[in-house]
Amino acid sequence: MTDTRRKDIRHLIDQVRRILLDQWDPLGVGGMPALADEYDFVLGKVMAGLAGSPSVDAIIDLLTELERDYLGLPVARRDLSQRAASSLAALRRASKPWPNTPTHDPR
């Protein structure tokens, strides 16, 4: 992998991280700098979920699943998922080619 491609992937991961923290944020930790990495453990799943150019509804389903199965939240916040899913879908459409499902940040 070239250095340029590595930088592009890091940039995409950072954008996804920001969307999760600023728009989705079901735990409400977005305003706490010490918890800026709170959703990093689901980044690989989100990146993989975006690989096939999914619909906004499919991304909402993914975020809802993550809230329930990974964060242990009893009720998903569809409003948060909708906003984040729209941004993630727009990012996916604008980012071609999409990386081969990174499971960690390649820093």
Give me the domain span that covers residue 75: 3-94
How far, in Å, CA of 17 to CA of 14, rounded?
5
Whether 66 is in a domain gets the answer: yes
Whether 63 is in a domain gets the answer: yes
Whether 104 is in a domain gets the answer: no
Q: What is the pLDDT of residues 10-35, one digit of tens each?
A: 999 999 999 999 999 999 998 898 88
- What local confidence, expressed as pLDDT, does residue 16 receive? 95
Whether 99 is in a domain gets the answer: no
Whether 102 is in a domain gets the answer: no
How far, in Å, CA of 29 to CA of 26, rounded?
8
Q: What is the pLDDT of residues 41-90, one digit of tens each?
A: 999 999 999 998 899 999 999 999 999 998 988 887 888 899 999 999 99
Whether 72 is in a domain gets the answer: yes
Domain count across the chain: 1
- What local confidence, expressed as pLDDT, does residue 101 receive? 54
Whether 30 is in a domain gets the answer: yes
- What local confidence, expressed as pLDDT, does residue 52 receive? 84
Whether 35 is in a domain gets the answer: yes
